[in-house]
A and B are shown apart, each in its own frame.
Chain A
């Protein structure tokens, strides 16, 4: 009879978000590394795929903290760009959580696959 814990629920939601994106990342990262290894050489495959993973991972983290930090400035900017703005900080953070989860997945995928490369 676990009591409903809002903190735990919050954490679980985040975890699911990251895990789903991460799983996609692992699979895609692994596949990409293998494909590039076949076409080019294993070192390049490992380096380039991992680098792309870090790019997504870093960009996601940057975007996440950026939206939290400069959320209001960005909302102001959106208004100035005068397109119908539905930008919200929460939305942006969710998207960035997904993105960094995906990036981390790709990185993990490369680490897993690299030892198996020819």
Chain B
């Protein structure tokens, strides 16, 4: 090692640093986190596959003319094994394909909600930390009041204002999730501000929010990632819940929440379990994946926490 020149060290810089990072090694040694990560990657692959190769029209519109409705999974009945792997729903649509496409929708809208609330949260957190005093007080305490509301009820209240529909649900949930990120960022920003480093920069005449952004962002990247991962699962559940209650996806859309709604109204009494089982299974597994990874990341980030909060 000692003989290595500085250029090779530079070239290897990122890999070396990643390997040396206690965060990553801690994370990679956590079996549950690895399972979570694999689940998420699997869902991403399925979702992308569905988006690229499945015909949205064929899985959204009624197929009553072509297929039997509420047909059980092929491997249960006399039909061929690969015919309707997960059965068909009340409008004779192939549930397997719909569930796969649902993965794409869940991840897409999850990214929208979590991404937008991360950006908003970063802005609010940095503004609060930077201006301090009255601004900090009012902004953060308002966030706290928001946090005290249960997310689903708050989202419902916002839907009452904005109206129903997937795009409006995304806006509502973005507002619901923003405070969580604002808190994390503000905490990290305050820590950076306390550093003499920033003091020096500011003293040199660089009292500019841009300076703060440049110094704060790298420092709160890890907590933000943990927060995003943990909240991703919650956001997916809330998105599905709002569709389930009839405020999100439009009829026909292959979203997991809407499929579960259809399952409850069409399959419960007649025992057509596959209408509810498969969409819910995919939803739960995806959320579990994010929870496992998020938990593992939190532990890796702060080994002290692991002893008590696991």
Contacts known (A82-B309, A83-B183, A83-B184); A66 close to B134, Cβ less than 8 A: no
Q: Which residues of B contact A68 (CB under 8 A)?
A: none
User: Could you say which residues of chain B place their CB within 8 Å of the CB of A70?
Assistant: 148
B141 interface residue per 8 A CB criterion: yes
A67: B residues at CB distance < 8 A? 141, 145
- CB neighbours (8 Å) of A66 from chain B are 145, 148
CA distance A44 to B148 in the complex (A): 32
Given contacts A94-B137, A98-B134, A98-B137, contact A59 B187 (CB under 8 A): no
Q: Is the interface of A mostly helix, strand, loop or mixed?
A: helix
Q: Which residue of A lies closest to B186 (CB)?
A: A83
Contact A95 B142 (CB under 8 A): yes
CB-nearest residue of chain B relative to A92?
A: B141
Number of residues from B at the complex interface, CB < 8 A: 18
Contacting pair B137 A91 (CB below 8 A): yes
* Cβ B145 vs Cβ A59 within 8 A: yes
Chain A residues with a Cβ closer than 8 Å to the other chain, count? 21
Instruction: Provide 26 A-B residue pairs closer than 8 Å at the C-beta atoms, listed in order of the A residue.
Output: A59-B142, A59-B145, A63-B141, A63-B142, A63-B145, A66-B145, A67-B145, A70-B148, A74-B144, A77-B148, A78-B144, A82-B298, A82-B305, A83-B187, A83-B223, A84-B187, A91-B137, A92-B145, A94-B137, A94-B141, A95-B138, A95-B141, A96-B141, A96-B145, A98-B134, A98-B138
- A residues apposed to B, CB below 8 Å: 59, 62-63, 66-67, 70, 74, 77-78, 81-84, 87, 91-92, 94-96, 98-99
Contacts from B to A (Cβ < 8 Å): 134, 137-138, 140-142, 144-145, 147-148, 180, 183-184, 187, 223, 298, 305, 309
